Every structure is written in structure tokens, then in C-alpha cells.
Amino acid sequence: MLRDITLGQYYQTDSVIHRLDPRVKLVATLAYIISLFVAGNVPGYILAGLFLAWVIHMSKVPFRFMVKGMKAIVFLLCLTVVFNLFLTPGTPVVSIWKISITEEGIAIAVMMAVRLCFLIIGASIMTLTTTPNNLTDGLEKLLNPLKKVRVPVHEVSMMMSIALRFIPILMEETDKIMKAQIARGADFESGNLIQRAKNMVPLLVPLFIAAFRRANDLAMAMEARCYRGGDGRTKMKPLIYKKRDRIAYLVLIVYMILMIVVGRILMV
Amino acid sequence: MNIIEAKKLVYEYIRRDEEGNIEGVSRAVDGVDLSVNQGEFIAILGHNGSGKSTLAKHINALLTPTEGTIFVDGKDTSDEANIWDVRQSAGMVFQNPDNQIIGQVVEEDVGFGPENMGVPTKEIWERVEESLKAVGMYAYRKHSPNKLSGGQKQRVSIAGVLAMHPKCIILDEPTAMLDPNGRKEVIRAARALNQVEGVTVILITHYMEEVIYADRVFVMDEGKVVLQGTPREVFSRVEKLKGLRLDVPQVTLLAYELQKAGVNLPDGILTPEELAEELKKVRQSEDGRQ
């Protein structure tokens, strides 16, 4: 059934990583990505890999879920590897016709591949251990200072969480309209790309109308429940840093320092 | 002071053409007087386009009157400054449950209203718990609203309004999109609120069976209140209701037809039990005569 789809890729279990404040996870993910670009040598990558393995172990999420996220970037990964492999100048190892694979090319290709893999796995740990709702909450709180420069942080995060709530409803609606149109003889499966795109019109028009109608109703319902933007609002589940969050920040700082030391200073 | 006091309420929808010129004006609500006491259970009946939903939106200050006044809990809804007080004292539940649930988890949705009002976190949790218990949905507090049935979703919506501690709840056709079981659930929840919590309930509907428990019934047609009184009084006017394209409950209709055929029955019978009782009396008196 369509309504059973899980959003994002949240993996439900109870671990320290799951219980961390979403802000910690957002900051840590960003820091980890930066650290990957700071690291410029093999020990740096080993450290990054060890740290990642430790976090994965702590999160109790089976490793195959992380790999799932990799599928989407297999193409990108191959492209990066191929480009780096063939287009880096240096000492040639194998030469075929005008193209040659160089020693430097191999090194950079491997590095880039590892970097990309770590990056994707690191980011997917965040989405696997945090519900989309929590993530929006964290983002709102993190970006709160931007309100001073008139960035509508609360509004954007409210929109995001409403969008998340309505995705399954709209999916169901799409399914319903699709069936109704198929019953009337619509064809969504045959023909070339242009024809198929054209055939989508009788699906998209009612879907858009329905979505706008829903939005209108929802806005009214929100107003009826005294919604008037983010000012003066309290939170049912406020984000408060706990001891484990502070420890996590400490671990992160230690990791970053180690990374800089190992990746930059120790072996230039 | 009555909780709701409307005097000569008029609301006009203005249709405009593409240039913004006024094309026509239609009166959705036309000179309605309405006064509701605290703790009453009121039903507003009417077929589509009778102006009942427009009237309901006035009680919640979603619409403000074109002419006339409406006071909710002593506050004029036309005054911009009163809007949030009015919306807090008169909560509203809409027809489509999917379009009024904001949270992704039941308890978060119920907490939405109190969050907007700026209630402290600890109290929000208390309110959420007590509201969900009042509508019998406490066991589902961690569920996703998408996985609930229509009747359950509507009960969550009612809890969401209840958590704002309103004096009055307006239910705008809450059962129109539900199956018979869901309808029963919602009406039961609404009655419980009225009787246990003492909340004023205004039920807008076109299902006759739902209004027999009301203290007073208003029947609307073309923006006007055309009939009002206790359910018994209103349903005794079978011909008039038929003229308004409204159906009376089947039992009432049966009693009415029997009456017309010469059986000695009182006006406005509302439940099957009542009809059975009356028929028994008729038989006894006939037996007595023979």
C-alpha cells in the first residue's frame, strides 16, 4: 500500500545516536564533511574511517542500510573515478593509445572514491537516526539567529514539516486519481517520453487542484487553532541540550583536532 | 451573558469578474439571530448552501459579519483585537479530517493549539493527555495520523481543539466524510464533551439522526433560520422539513405516516423505543375499549 511508505529513511531503533539532539547531529555531520576535505593523506582517511565505523556501531543501524544510500551515487562515483583516473597528468603506469593511467591518477581516484563514500555514509547516519520532524526542529533552532536578518526560519521549517506530513496523503490522492483516470481509459504506460508526459496532464491537473484546496483548508484550520507565526509560540517538545549532547560535542571537537593534527601537521 | 449572541447577522459573498468589478452579491447569511447559553448542545441543520457553514465560521472569527454583530463570550468578533481570544474560546472542527491535522504524530497535533497560545511546555503535556483521554484516543498518542480511521482522525481533531480549553466547540459537518461507525464515534465523543466536560457544543450537520440529542435545533434555509426549537418540536413539522428538502429520521417519519393513517400518536417521536412505547399505549387503550 502507498500509505505505508516510510519517509526519508529513518531506521527505528533505540541508540545513543538516536537520542542525541538533532542539532548535535546536524553540526557533527557538517563538521565531518569538512574534516574529510581537511584530510589530505592516508592516516587522515584511516582516522575518518575509524570514527565513522565507531559511530555506525553506536547507532545500531545495520550496515546494509548505509550502503542503500550509496546506490543513488554509484554513477557519480564511477564518473569521478574515471575522470580522475584518466585525466590526471603524472607518471604513466599503463598507456593505451593516447590515454594513460598515471600513478597520481590512481591515488587521487581512490582518495576521491573513499571521500565520497564516507561523505554519503556520514550524511545517511544522520537521516537514518533522526526523524524528518526532528531534523526540521533542529534546523529551525540552529538557524534561529538568522531571524535577526529577517530570514523566515520558523515559516520555512513549518512549511517543511507540513510538506512531510502531506506527502503520504498526496501520494494516496495521486493513486486514486490515477485509478479513476485509468478507469476512464487514460494510458500512463505506453508511448514515447513526450507522449507519456502529455498523458500525465489528466493526472496532474486534478492533483494540483486538490492540493490547493487542501492547502486552503489547512490554512483555515491552522488559523482556527490560533496559529499566528512563530512569535510567542511555545514548544511541546523543546530542544534542550543534555549531558550526552555535551559529551558528543566534546568527542566531535577531539576528533576535529586529531584530524587537523594527523591530516595536516604530522605529515606534510 | 450568553456564550454566543448574534444579532441580525448578515454575510455577503461578493463575486468579482477578472477586472475586480463586482459581478454579483449573494447573501449566505441573512439576518440571523442566535443566542446560545453556556453548556448547551445546539444543532444547526440545513442542506447544502443553506448558509450553515458560513454562520459557523463567524463564531470562530474566520469570517466577520457584513452587517449585524456577533459576540462570542462577550467579545465582538469584528474587532481585530479580539480575534485570538475568540478563536481560543470557540474552537472549530472541520469536515475533512486530513486537512486539519498538522502534526505527524497524534500527540504533536493535539499540542499544536496550546503551542500557538504560548502555553508552557509542562502544561501542554497535561492538556494533551487529558484531551486525548476525553475523546478516548490516548492509546493512539504515538501513532501517525495517516494510519487512523476517519472517525479516529476526527476524534483527534476534537482533542486538538479541546486542548485549547475552549468554552465552546463548533463542529462543522464533522461526520460528512465518515462511515456510519465513524459517525457514531464522533457524535458520542461530542456528547461526552458536552455532558462530562460541560463544553458548549454547536453541531452543524445534515444527518437528522445526529440532532435528536441536541437541546435545541436551528434549521437554516437560504441564509435564514426557518425553524427552531427542541428536536421534538422541530421534527413534528414533517411537512415543513420536507419542503426544505430535509429528511426527518425514519422513526419520526413512520410515526407521522401512522398518525396520518389514523393511529393516535403524539407529535415528534424521535427514537424507536419511544415509538414502541407509544404503540403499546395505543394498543392497551384499544383493548380497554373493546
Find the residue in B nearest to A219 (Cα). B100
Rounded average pLDDT over A227-239: 83
Q: What is d(CA A91, CA A100) in angstroms, rounded to the nearest whole number?
A: 9
Count of A-B CB contacts under 8 Å? 89
Contact status of A94 with chain B (Cβ, < 8 Å): no
Query: Angle at Cα B183 formed by Cα B178 and Cα B184, nearest 5°?
Result: 155
Cell 439571530 maps to which residue?
B33
Distances in Å between the Cα of B241 and the Cα atoms of B50, B220, B230, B261 are 13, 10, 14, 20
- Per-residue pLDDT for A166 more than 50? yes
Which of A161, A228, A236 is nearest residue B111 as measured by Cβ atoms?
A: A236
Separation in Å, CA of A15 to nearest CA in chain B = 19
> How far apart are alpha carbons A83 and A70 in whole angstroms?
19
Minimal Cα–Cα distance from B121 to chain A, Å?
Answer: 5
Asked if B164 reaches chain A (Cβ–Cβ under 8 Å), the answer is yes
DSSP B203-264: EEES-GGGGTT-SEEEEEETTEEEEEE-HHHHHT-HHHHHHTT-PPPHHHHHHHHHHHTT--
For residue A6 the three cell numbers come to: 516510510
pLDDT score of B200: 93
Across the range A204-233, mean pLDDT stands at 89
Residue B138: which of B161, B117, B155 has the closest Cα?
B155
Domain ranges in chain B are 4-235, 249-290
If DSSP codes are grouped into helix, strand and coil, which group holds residue A192?
coil
Predicted pLDDT at A207:
92
Lowest model confidence (mean pLDDT) among A12-21, A139-148, B14-23, B234-243: B14-23
Q: A-chain residues within 8 Å CB-CB of B94? A: 217, 220-221, 224
Cell (9 digits) for A54: 565507531
φ, ψ (nearest 5 deg) of residue B216? -140, 150
Tell me how crowded residue A204 is: count the other CB atoms within 10 A of its CB. Answer: 12
Cβ-defined contact of A218 to B99 (cutoff 8 Å): yes
Cβ-based neighbour number of residue B218 at 10 Å: 24
* A238 in contact with B, Cβ within 8 Å: yes
Query: Facing residues of B168 across strands?
Result: B90, B200
Residue of B nearest to A163 (CA): B102
Q: Which of A250, A1, A258, A21 is nearest to A131 (CA)?
A: A21
Give me the residue label for grid cell 482522525.
B153
pLDDT at A8 over 60: no
pLDDT digits (tens, 9 = 90+) for B145-167: 888 888 999 999 999 999 999 99
Cα A83 from Cα A86, distance rounded (Å): 6
Instruction: Determine, for residues B62 and A223 on separate chains, whether the beta-carbon distance falls below 8 Å.
Output: yes
Type and span of the H or E element at B10: strand B4-16
The nearest alpha carbon in chain B to A171 belongs to: B146
**What's the CA gap between B234 and B229, in Å, rounded?**
6
A1 and B CB contact within 8 Å:
no
**Distance between CA atoms of residues A256 and A241, nearest Å:** 21
Phi, psi at B269, each rounded to 5°: -80, 135
Q: Identify the closest residue of chain A to B115 by CA–CA distance.
A: A234
pLDDT at A5: 43
pLDDT of residue A228: 86
Q: Are strands B216-221 and B200-205 parallel, antiparallel or unpaired?
A: unpaired
Which residues share a beta bridge with B220? B225
N residues, chain B: 290
Which of B54, B49, B95, B47 is CA-nearest to residue B247? B47
Comparison of pLDDT for A236 and A69, the residue scoring more: A236
Grid cell for residue A153: 526560519
Residues of chain A contacting residue B115, judged by C-beta atoms under 8 Å apart? 233-236
| Contact status of B100 with chain A (Cβ, < 8 Å) | yes
Residue A7 has pLDDT above 60, yes or no: no
Reported confidence tier of residue A3, pLDDT bands at 50, 70, 90: very low
What is the H or E stretch that residue B8 is in?
strand B4-16
Higher per-residue pLDDT: A263 or A63: A63
What part of A 159-188 touches B (C-beta under 8 Å)? 161-162, 164-165, 168-169
| Residue A234 in contact with partner chain B when CB distance is under 8 A | yes
Mean pLDDT of A37-55: 86
Give Cα separations from A69 to A25, A73, A124 (angstroms). 18, 8, 7
Whether B99 sits inside 8 A of A217 (CB atoms) is yes
Q: Is B97 on the interface with A (CB under 8 A)?
A: no
Which of residues 105 through 134 in chain B touch A, CB cutoff 8 A? 105, 107-108, 111-121, 124-125, 128
User: Which chain A residues have a beta carbon less than 8 Å from that of B116?
Assistant: 225-228, 233
Residue B170 C-alpha cell reads as: 463548533
Q: Is B241 in CB contact (< 8 Å) with chain A?
A: no
- Using 70 as the pLDDT threshold, list the residues of chain B that sit under it: 1, 290
Write the pLDDT tens digit of every residue in B52-75.
889 999 998 888 898 888 999 888
- Examine the pLDDT at A112 and tell me if it is beyond 80: yes
Classify domain B4-235 by CATH architecture: 3-Layer(aba) Sandwich (3.40)
Q: Is the ipTM of this complex over 0.95?
A: no
CA neighbours closer than 13 Å in the CB half-sphere of residue B92: 31
Higher pLDDT, B97 or A231: B97
